[in-house]
């Protein structure tokens, strides 16, 4: 069974810093990988989706990379802002609509 791990569980950085969130998965036969943001008491907002054939995706200050062979993905956030404070989750998808979510990294950006 696929296991998705996110490290660190929590991260606190001063405003303006660049940061990297990590996601690892045990089964590399994935269909795609997505990064989500979750604000307290809210649903999830999709940030980036990387298909299994892709190596990275970028959206604004966010860049996500995927290394299937090593079972790793990173989410890079440039020039962090207090509004980036949230929990970030990664999820891998296998064929047949099987999704596996990580437990998330809780990010706090200090003004």
Count of residues that interact with other proteins, criterion CB under 8 A: 22
What is the smallest separation between the CB atom of 65 and other proteins, expressed in angstroms?
18
Q: Which of 10, 12, 20, 99 binds other proteins (CB under 8 A)?
A: 99
CA 19 to chain CA centroid, Å, is 12
What is the smallest separation between the CB atom of 93 and other proteins, expressed in angstroms?
8
Do 68 and 30 touch, CB atoms closer than 8 A?
Answer: yes
Residue ranges in 5-24 that form contacts with other proteins under rule CB under 8 A: none
Distances (CA, A) of 102 to 29, 69, 78: 16, 18, 22
Task: Kindly tell me which of 9 and 79 has the beta carbon lying closer to other proteins.
Answer: 9
What the block records as the tokens of 107 is 């990010």
What the block records as the tokens of 39 is 């604000």
Do 80 and 16 touch, CB atoms closer than 8 A?
Answer: yes
Phi, psi of 95 (to 5 degrees): -60, 150
Tell me which stretch binds other proteins (CB under 8 A): 59-67, 69-77, 78-86, 88-96: 88-96
Task: Kindly tell me which of 10 and 110 has the beta carbon lying closer to other proteins.
Answer: 10
What the block records as the tokens of 10 is 């929590």
Residues in contact with other proteins by the rule CB under 8 A: 4, 31-32, 34, 36, 41-46, 49, 51, 89, 91, 93, 97, 99, 101-104
């Amino acid at each position: 069974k696929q296991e998705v791990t996110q490290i660190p569980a929590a991260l606190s950085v001063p405003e303006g810093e660049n940061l990297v969130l990590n996601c690892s998965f045990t089964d590399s036969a994935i269909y795609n990988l997505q990064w989500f943001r979750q604000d307290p008491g809210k649903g999830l907002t999709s940030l980036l989706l990387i298909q299994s054939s892709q190596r990275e995706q970028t959206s604004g200050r966010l860049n996500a990379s995927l290394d299937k062979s090593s079972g790793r993905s990173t989410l890079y956030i440039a020039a962090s802002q207090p509004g980036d404070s949230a929990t970030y989750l990664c999820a891998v998808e296998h064929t047949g609509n099987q999704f596996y979510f990580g437990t998330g990294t809780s990010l706090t950006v200090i003004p």
